[in-house]
Amino acid sequence: MLPLVFGILILLIAVYIGIKILKNIIVGVILIALVLIASFLIFGSLPNLREIPFIGQFLPSISAPQDIILAIKNILYNIEVVDVSRDSQNNLLIAIANTGKLEVSQIRVFVDNQTASIINSPKDPLKSGEITLIQTSWNQSFSEILVQTKQVNATYKK
């Protein structure tokens, strides 16, 4: 019975400390918002958040509301060309990785602004964290590859 009482007591203390921490975070965010609003009312513009010492370097540079939407989209949907090589028939092989948080689908490949037909069947949809290999029928030299999905694009330049 005594261990149960001590366990509940420790749980209550942990919950109390957690609530205090959450309250401090909320108060901090409200104070920062008030400073930004006051700055806007006094100077007529919002300060550049990137110039804040220590933490400004970790904040994304956002100059317009559209940039906020674009930054969120880049976190949710993002693909990268991992590697480009040739197979034994000199066909172009493209390895892509989904580094975003959501899946991407309908993969298409353009090489030097021309559509390259995909020979194999790459994973579709490509889930977050997965890598797939695309085998195209392109056997000429190239300078740029554009991998396009329904959600996002990735470019590879030689």
Q: Where are the domains of the chain?
A: 2-74, 78-157
Token pair of 145 as six digits: 């590859």
What amino acid is encoded at 78 in this protein?
Answer: N
> Is-contact 111 134, C-beta < 8 A?
no
Nearest-CA neighbor of 151 among 99, 113, 112, 114? 99
Token pair of 131 as six digits: 């890598």
Rounded Cα gap, residues 69 and 49, in angstroms:
17
> Is-contact 74 60, C-beta < 8 A?
no
Rounded Cα gap, residues 122 and 124, in angstroms:
6
CATH architecture of 78-157: Sandwich (2.60)
List the pLDDT tens digit at each of the 158 positions of the chain: 888 999 999 999 999 999 999 999 999 989 988 887 888 888 877 777 777 777 777 766 666 667 777 777 888 899 999 999 999 999 999 999 999 999 999 999 999 999 999 999 999 899 999 999 999 999 899 999 999 999 999 999 98
Rounded Cα gap, residues 87 and 18, in angstroms:
56
Write down the pTM of the prediction.
0.61
Within 10 angstroms of residue 152's Cβ, the number of other Cβ atoms is 17
